[in-house]
Each structure stands twice: as C-alpha cells, then as structure tokens.
Amino acid sequence: MNIAYIRVSTIEQNEARQVEAMKQYSIDETYIEKVSAKDTDRPQLQAMIKFARKGDTIYVHDFSRLSRSTKDLLELVEQLQAKEVNLVSLKEGFDISTPNGKLMLTMLGAINEFERANMLERQREGIAIAKAEGKYKGRKEVAVVDFEKHYQRYMNREVSKSQLAKELEVSRPTLDKLIKEHQQVC
C-alpha cells in the first residue's frame, strides 16, 4: 500500500503543493495534519505509523515533514524499518537502508533541526525589538463562546482535539491552552 504523509506547521498554511506532488505515486491512504514538527506527538503521524504494515511505502515531500529533530527523525525511521515499512522522500531521493543513506539522513535531520533553532531565535529577536518599540503586545486573547459545552463534548469523547480545533477555528496549541485554563477554573 502507498501511504502519503503531508504536514504543514500551522492551520493558515496550505498543503496543496505537497498534495499535488503525491498524485504521481498512486497513493492509497493519505494522512494530513497542520501542526508543528517540534515533536512526534501528532495524531495523524501516530495514526499513520499504527496503520502502516510490512511492505507498505510511506511517501513524504521531504524529511522535514516528518521531523525537525534529528533524534526524532532517526527514531521514526528506525520504527518504520522495524515494521519493514519503506520510506520515500520525494525531495531527497536516497536509500536510507544503506550506511550512506543513513549518514545523509542524519545530516539532513541535523540541518533541519538547525534551521528550526535559527528560525525560533530570529522570531524571539524580532518580538523583542517589536516589544521595545511598542509594536507588539503579545497574541490576542482567544475567547470561545460557551466553551463549557465544547469541553464536555471533548471529555465525552464525542470529538477529538483535532476535530474540536477545526470546529472552533483555532490551532491545536490554542485549544490545549483553552482546555488547561478551563480545567484550572473548574
């Protein structure tokens, strides 16, 4: 079975470029999520890993879609290899089952991790400058009318976090924050 894993970092980003790239591979099952790759605790990633069976092939646009952490990327690859699941990156295009491929994967993972760290540092610097100039006052508060009703639906397992975030048109981290705040009040 051919499986596609497509990921963008935020709800606002568009996954169309990755979806289009997958069309040439006769994909049978697609997992799409809009969440950061800071860790592997992502619902669609975990569902895909659980779904994949021996002989399946997972296609990703590039390895950074799986992880921005070298350690996490290598652990994911080992997990897939243990299940005898093939992994294909459309962008990098090398065989990760060879020693050279494993080296290249490790180097790419390190570069992706370095890029993420640099991006976060530039973001912090930009926010600090904007705050000093009085142009940045932090994120606007997100308020959800009648959140208790939505919270109860989530607690009763009527909706998943991903489904609820989509319904409320907020990101998963924002929903997590709303849930945590709600639990502290109750």
- Catalytically active residues are 9
**Which spans in 88-170 are helix H?**
99-132, 147-155, 161-168
Give the max Cα distance, the chain. Answer: 57
Q: Which of 42, 6, 13 is nearest to 176 (CA)?
A: 42
Q: What tokens does 173 get?
A: 């981290």
Output phi, psi for 29, to 5 deg: -140, 135
- Taking the C-alpha atoms of residue 30 and residue 32, their distance in angstroms, rounded to an integer, is 6
- Taking the C-alpha atoms of residue 66 and residue 18, their distance in angstroms, rounded to an integer, is 13
